Amino acid sequence: MVHVQLAGDEHVEGIIRVCRAGYRDVSEGILSEETIKKNCEAYYNRVRITTEVNAPTSRWGGYFVALDGEAVVGAAGGGMIDDKTSRLYVIYLDPSRRNEGIGSKLLDAVTL
């Protein structure tokens, strides 16, 4: 059973793995391999993800992770941009875990 929770340090490597795999999956055939690799390294690296996990702000509520046991199978991040509006900045799933409702659970966690 998959459950969603706010991410901690123990989820950083899983977030990186899922985000890189998801980004690669949606970008192949659209972007060059060089661009995919460059963007994965720029956006989904240990320093950046660790910082984003540990430094929620008023506009960035942090990462939420979808866990199957202890394995990260999805990740999403966003936050409230005013009293009534939330914004989803990133959402990715392990490509092999599509159509299980995981994305909907992550979206609910970020936007509620």
Total count of residues recorded for the chain: 112
CATH fold group of domain 2-111: Aminopeptidase (3.40.630)
- The pLDDT score that the predictor gives to residue 66 is 98
Of residues 16, 31, 29, the one with CA closest to residue 90: 16
Percent of the chain predicted with pLDDT > 90:
78
Domain ranges of the chain: 2-111
Helices within the chain (DSSP H only): 12-27, 33-43, 46-54, 102-111
Q: Are 2 and 67 in contact (CB under 8 A)?
A: yes
pTM, two decimal places: 0.91
- The pLDDT score that the predictor gives to residue 58 is 66
Q: pLDDT of 51-99, one tens digit each?
A: 999 987 767 888 999 999 999 999 999 887 888 888 899 999 999 999 9
| Phi, psi of 77, rounded to the nearest 5 degrees | -145, 150
- The pLDDT score that the predictor gives to residue 59 is 74
